[in-house]
């Protein structure tokens, strides 16, 4: 849905190519990559591509239900022609599937009253055959539709193909339910028409600096003022950018994120402002930039300190006049966007060094939200966050029982300095939840001072220094311990360690850990 854009935190590794024609096998291995909804769009698009290929279909589309508008919207599609399709529930074949929760296998659109020719008209595509299956949540309500179009070789999709697609939908559904996209859809269902007043979705914390931050968000959210969110890595800048959006009058319009650090400088301008046909080699059609996609909503410019100086002037103009030209274009585009930016860099210093435009700096920090590092939030916030992450990880890993957080483990968590802030705490707890056996003990916490290794000197009594080990040693031993616990399952180990399988493979090689 427009306003439910993903929160990419790190990139998913490339998806494995199908090894056999057993599609469910392919999807299962893809499922193993789900930990976080990183690059969710890209991932879903690849997933839908895979589904279409394995179904011998020409294209596929994944629709999700927008409960506030009672519509379906396409979340991932083979759609070079349109950025998104929206359908009323009940309208078209996908709408029918969403409304009735049944499979539709349509050999031809001819004489088919459920078929909506409008989409073909908009896309210029010709639908010959179509197979659509519902996506159910745990309560068996439909929250999406997976469909494939135009069976290769023609004719009706086979019965066996019907059940195969249904199986894939089930797996995709399980994976999707672990993402915050799904949580947002659910929240939207529970809070129709977005409640008046302020809600901070998943922001946890009651400490004084957090309360001050909530207050500022409440004030700023109601306005269109540009907000600069500052704070150390992993302290919740993106989470607060979302809170600003969902608490603003623009909440039903898109929140679009641009990560300046993730893109090479040459692509940032294109990403933000789009291009006209022929603007550069390969620009075969006009491309919409993020500011255009965010029209009416919020543009979240992450890592703004990385914005190339050559593009800073153009952004300044958007801030001043809400207008710009696409790359290679002369026509002025006007948009209504609210801008929220984030950085962990010292922009004032960058201004002094001539790396960031001063005029842009002042335009951006109309409202400045400084998020505290975790170590300044006090032991109570650490405890609240820890309990929250234990519950979250237990849900994510579908554990029958939530592990108990032992008093000793909690003490260690409170004593640690958390250089990686909330993200580090979240990862630490998830790994402990996976490794623990009903109760999280200090040795389950992958923290340098608390981890005790089987062949390492015994942990020192409090007040004494811990054994000094090279960082690489700690890492190597931790990887080994995790692999051992997970019986050598690399996918599970990579997931528990919150790194990609490729990274794990590289580290195993680096540390000379043998295949077996
Ligand atoms: N107050 C909080 N309550 C609950 N979860 C939080 C909180 N702050 C951060 N998190 C979680 O910690 C992780 C990191 O947060 P986020 O991505 O917002 O940090 P960031 O400041 O943008 O980090 P970076 O500088 O590395 O981009 C996310 O999974 C987020 O959900
Ligand atoms: Mg961030």
Ligand 1 atom, smallest distance to 231 CA:
21
239 C-alpha to ligand 1 centroid (Å): 6
> In this structure, what is the dihedral angle of CA atoms 186, 188, 191, 192, given to the nearest 10 degrees?
-130
Task: State the architecture of 378-510 in CATH terms.
Answer: Orthogonal Bundle (1.10)
Tell me how far CA of residue 440 lies from CA of 399, 429, 493, in angstroms.
14, 9, 18
Q: How many CB atoms lie within 10 A of CB 126?
A: 11
3-state secondary structure of 350: helix
Q: Which CATH superfamily is domain 208-370 in?
A: P-loop containing nucleotide triphosphate hydrolases (3.40.50.300)
Tell me which ligand sits closest to the C-alpha of residue 240: 1
State which of 239, 258, 389, 424 you would mutate to test the pocket of ligand 1, scoring each by most atoms of that ligand within 8 A of its C-beta: 239
Residue with tokens 């879903």: 44
Residue 334 is classified by DSSP as E
Give the separation between CA 104 and CA 97, rounded to whole angstroms. 7
Q: Which CATH superfamily is domain 23-188 in?
A: GAF domain (3.30.450.40)
User: How high is the pLDDT of residue 368?
Assistant: 96
Residue 186, classified by CB atoms within 10 Å of its CB into exposed (0-12), middle (13-18) or buried (19+), is middle
Q: What residue's CA is closest to ligand 1, atom 5?
A: 203
260 C-alpha to ligand 1 centroid (Å): 18
Do residues 507 and 479 make contact, with C-beta atoms less than 8 angstroms apart?
A: yes
Series of mean pLDDT values for 10-residue runs along the chain (516 residues) = 32 34 42 45 76 89 84 71 74 92 92 85 85 88 92 90 90 78 72 38 80 88 95 93 87 89 88 90 87 95 95 95 94 96 95 96 95 94 93 86 94 92 95 93 81 41 48 80 83 87 83 64
Ligand 1 atom, smallest distance to 236 CA:
18
User: How high is the pLDDT of residue 215?
Assistant: 86
Ligand 1-lining residues (CB < 6 angstroms): 9, 202-205, 231, 233-239, 344, 385, 422-423, 426
Q: What residue's CA is closest to ligand 1, atom 8?
A: 236
418 C-alpha to ligand 1 centroid (Å): 13
The secondary structure of 259-309 as a DSSP string is ETTTS-HHHHHHHHH-B-TTSSTT--S-B--HHHHTTTSEEEEETGGGS-H
User: How high is the pLDDT of residue 509?
Assistant: 78
237 C-alpha to ligand 2 centroid (Å): 6
Q: What residue's CA is closest to ligand 1, atom 30?
A: 236
Q: What residue's CA is closest to ligand 1, atom 18?
A: 236
Give the separation between CA 89 and CA 104, rounded to whole angstroms. 15
State which of 181, 234, 306, 388 you would mutate to test the pocket of ligand 1, scoring each by most atoms of that ligand within 8 A of its C-beta: 234
56 C-alpha to ligand 2 centroid (Å): 39
- pTM here is 0.56
- The domain limits of the chain are 23-188, 208-370, 378-510
């Amino acid at each position: 849905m427009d306003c439910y854009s993903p929160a990419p935190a790190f990139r998913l590794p490339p998806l494995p190519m199908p090894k056999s024609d057993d599609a469910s096998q392919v999807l299962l291995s893809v499922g193993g990559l789900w930990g976080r909804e990183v690059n969710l769009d890209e991932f879903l698009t690849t997933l839908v591509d895979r589904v279409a290929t394995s179904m011998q279909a020409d294209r596929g589309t994944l629709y999700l239900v927008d409960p506030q508008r009672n519509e379906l919207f396409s979340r991932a599609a083979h759609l070079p022609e349109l950025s998104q399709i929206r359908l009323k529930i009940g309208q078209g074949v996908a709408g029918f599937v969403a409304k009735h929760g049944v499979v539709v296998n349509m050999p031809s659109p001819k004489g088919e009253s459920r078929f909506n020719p409008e989409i073909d008209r908009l896309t210029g595509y010709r639908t010959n055959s179509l197979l659509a299956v519902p996506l159910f949540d745990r309560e068996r309500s439909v929250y999406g539709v997976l469909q494939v179009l135009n069976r290769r070789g023609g004719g009706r999709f086979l019965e066996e193909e019907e059940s195969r697609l249904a199986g894939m939908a089930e797996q995709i559904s399980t994976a999707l339910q672990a993402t915050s996209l799904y949580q947002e859809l659910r929240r939207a269902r529970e809070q129709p028409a977005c409640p008046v007043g302020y809600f901070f979705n998943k922001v946890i914390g009651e400490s004084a600096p957090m309360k001050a931050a909530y207050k500022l968000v409440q004030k700023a959210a109601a306005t269109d003022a540009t907000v600069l969110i500052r704070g150390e890595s992993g302290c919740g800048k993106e989470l607060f950018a979302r809170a600003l959006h969902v608490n603003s009058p623009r909440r039903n319009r898109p929140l679009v994120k641009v990560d300046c650090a993730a893109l090479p400088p040459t692509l940032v301008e294109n990403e933000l402002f789009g291009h006209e046909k022929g603007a550069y080699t390969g620009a075969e059609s006009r491309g919409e930039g993020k500011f255009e996609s965010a029209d009416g909503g919020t543009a979240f410019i992450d890592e703004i300190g990385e914005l190339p100086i050559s593009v800073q002037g153009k952004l300044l103009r958007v801030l001043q006049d809400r207008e710009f030209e696409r790359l290679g274009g002369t026509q002025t585009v006007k948009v209504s966007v609210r801008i929220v930016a984030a950085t962990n860099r010292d922009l004032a210093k960058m201004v002094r060094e001539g790396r960031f435009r001063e005029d842009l700096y002042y335009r951006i920090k109309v409202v400045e939200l400084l998020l505290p590092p975790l170590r300044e939030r006090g032991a109570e916030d650490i405890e609240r966050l820890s309990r929250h992450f234990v519950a979250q990880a237990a849900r994510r890993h579908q554990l029958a029982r939530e592990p108990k957080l032992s008093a000793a483990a909690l003490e260690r968590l409170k004593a640690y300095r958390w250089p990686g802030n909330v993200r580090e705490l979240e990862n630490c707890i998830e790994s402990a939840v996976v490794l623990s056996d009903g109760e999280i003990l200090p040795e389950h916490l992958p923290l340098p001072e608390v981890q005790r290794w089987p062949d390492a000197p015994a942990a020192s009594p409090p007040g004494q220094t811990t054994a000094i080990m090279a960082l690489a040693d700690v890492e190597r031993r931790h990887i080994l311990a995790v692999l051992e616990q997970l019986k050598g399952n690399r996918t599970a180990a990579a997931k528990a360690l919150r790194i990609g399988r490729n990274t794990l493979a590289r580290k195993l090689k680096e540390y000379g850990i043998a295949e077996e």
